[in-house]
Amino acid sequence: MFVEAELAGCDLRETDLRGADLERANLSHAKLEGADLRGANLDGVNLSGLELRGVKLDVEQAVLLALASGAQVTWAPEASA
C-alpha cells in the first residue's frame, strides 16, 4: 500500500495505519502523534528525526524500532511465584 512511499515531513497525526505495508517508506520528520501503526510492516522504514511519543505500536514493533535506533534491549521474563 505505501511501499517505498515518500512521507517525509507529512502530518499523519491520528491516522489509522493499522496493517499498512510501509516497507522502506520514508517517514523521516513525519508527525505521527496519536497514529495507530499496530500490525503495520515497518521493515526498512526511514525513521530519522521521528518522534514516536503517542504512537500506537505492537510490542514487537516497539522492540524492533528500539533496536533499530541503537537501544540495547534485554528480555527479562517475570520470575515464577
Domains defined along the chain, listed by start: 1-68 (2.160.20.80)
Please report the pLDDT score of residue 13 as a whole number: 96
d(CA 63, CA 75): 10
Reported pTM: 0.79
Please report the pLDDT score of residue 49 as a whole number: 87
- Using the structure block, give the residue that is written with the C-alpha cell 500490525: 39
d(CA 67, CA 81): 30
Band the pLDDT of 51: cuts 50, 70, 90.
Answer: confident
